């Protein structure tokens, strides 16, 4: 497959997370518990931010980790790092719970295909603990103007499209597109510089 040309096969295959996921294939409950203890907080925080209610949020988190346990073979370490894969899975499950409009529903159903798509961390990306990573991302996004931050949050946490965000914020479509793109580019540059 052409994507294999840039799929990292070196250190990520040998990363501690990838090793734990491989142990799940052997029904290693201890490996599962380690992964849960390490990432349940960020997964729950993300899901709760999207669905806004603790009961449904816990159900989504349970589904996500059970999918990891039952279908760990779906995670292919050669196609990208584990945490972004897990967070993408959690986000899509949470948005599935949140979604109300049929059109949006179809779009998100298509997005679930992306679960098994390639995620490539940039060269500068280093392994950071979750706390430092969160501080870094929050600080960089906090520097964006409030409307720009709001547009990105509407897209990420509510699954809205450019047009839907433009309608929500009563701003021109082109402005919303620029806000989101420029905001993410600034985040990317900031993460690069900070590394």
Partner 1 sequence: MSNCDQFREMYEAYALGALDPPERAVLEAHLATGCAECAKSVAEARWLVSQLAYLAPEAATSDMLKGRLMQTVRSEAEAKSSSSVSTGATTTASGIPYWLSASIAALLLLTLYFAWDAHRLKDELRAANEQNQRNEQLVASAKGEFAATQQKLAAMEEQMAKMHRETAILTDPSSVKIMLAAQKIQAPQMVAMWHAKYGIVLTGQKVPMPSGNRVLQLWLIPKARGGKPMPSMTVRPDANGNFEVLVSNPPAAGSDTKALAITEEPAGGSAAPTTTPKWVGAMT
Site residues for partner 1, 75-114, by CB under 8 A, read: 80-81, 83-84, 87-88, 90-91, 106-108, 110-111, 113-114
Q: Taking CB under 8 A as the rule, does residue 46 contact partner 1?
A: yes
Q: Which of residues 7-26 bind partner 1 (CB under 8 A)?
A: none
Compare residues 15 and 191 and give the one whose CB is closer to partner 1: 191
How deeply is 75 buried, as exposed, middle or buried, from its count of CB atoms within 10 A (0-12, 13-18, 19+)? buried
CB-based burial label for 47 (10 Å; 0-12, 13-18, 19+):
buried
φ, ψ of residue 38 in degrees (nearest 5): -75, -40
Q: Is 152 in the site for partner 1 (CB under 8 A)?
A: yes
Total site size for partner 1, rule CB under 8 A: 73
Q: Kindly tell me which residue out of 13, 15, 76, 141 binds partner 1, with binding defined by CB under 8 A.
A: 141
Interacting residue with partner 1 among 12, 20, 32, 96 (CB under 8 A): 32
13 versus 44: smaller Cβ distance to partner 1: 44
Q: Residue 9: CB partners within 8 Å, gap ≥ 6? A: 78
Residue 16 or residue 174: which is nearer to partner 1 going by CB? Answer: 174
- Min CB(31)–partner 1 separation in Å: 10
For partner 1, which residue of 40, 52, 74, 195 counts as binding (CB under 8 A)? 40
From candidates 10, 100, 102, 122, binder to partner 1 by CB under 8 A: 122
In angstroms, give the least distance from the CB of 93 to partner 1.
13
Candidates 42, 76, 78, 169; binder of partner 1 (CB under 8 A) is 42
Q: Assign 3-class secondary structure to 118-187.
A: CCCCCCCCCCCCHHHHHHHHHHHHHCCCHHHHHHHHHHHHHCCCHHHHHHHHCCCHHHHHHHHHHHHHHH
Instruction: Determine if 188 is a binding residue for partner 1 (CB under 8 A).
Output: yes
Give, in order, the Cα–Cα distances in Å from 4 to each of 1, 19, 117. Answer: 6, 20, 12
Q: Is 161 an interacting residue with respect to partner 1 (CB under 8 A)?
A: yes
Query: Does residue number 163 form part of the binding site for partner 1 (CB under 8 A)?
Result: yes
The 3 state secondary structure assigned to 57-98 is HHHHHHHHHHHHHHCHHHCCHHHCCHHHHHHHHHHHHHHHHH
């Amino acid at each position: 497959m052409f994507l294999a040309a840039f799929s990292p096969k070196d250190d990520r295959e040998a990363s501690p997370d990838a090793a734990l996921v491989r142990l799940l294939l052997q029904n290693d409950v201890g490996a599962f518990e380690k992964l849960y203890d390490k990432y349940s907080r960020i997964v729950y925080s993300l899901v709760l931010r999207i669905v806004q209610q603790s009961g449904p949020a816990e159900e989504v988190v349970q589904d996500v980790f059970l999918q990891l346990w039952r279908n760990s073979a779906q995670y292919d370490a050669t196609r990208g790092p584990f945490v972004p894969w897990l967070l993408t899975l959690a986000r899509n499950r949470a948005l599935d719970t949140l979604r109300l409009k049929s059109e949006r529903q179809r779009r998100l159903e298509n997005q679930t295909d992306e679960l098994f798509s390639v995620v490539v961390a940039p060269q500068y990306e280093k392994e950071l603990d979750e706390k430092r990573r969160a501080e870094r991302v929050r600080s960089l996004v906090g520097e964006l103007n409030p409307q720009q931050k709001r547009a990105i949050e509407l897209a990420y946490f509510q699954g809205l499209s450019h047009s839907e965000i433009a309608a929500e914020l009563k701003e021109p479509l082109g402005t919303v597109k620029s806000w989101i793109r420029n905001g993410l580019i600034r985040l990317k540059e900031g993460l690069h510089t900070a590394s």
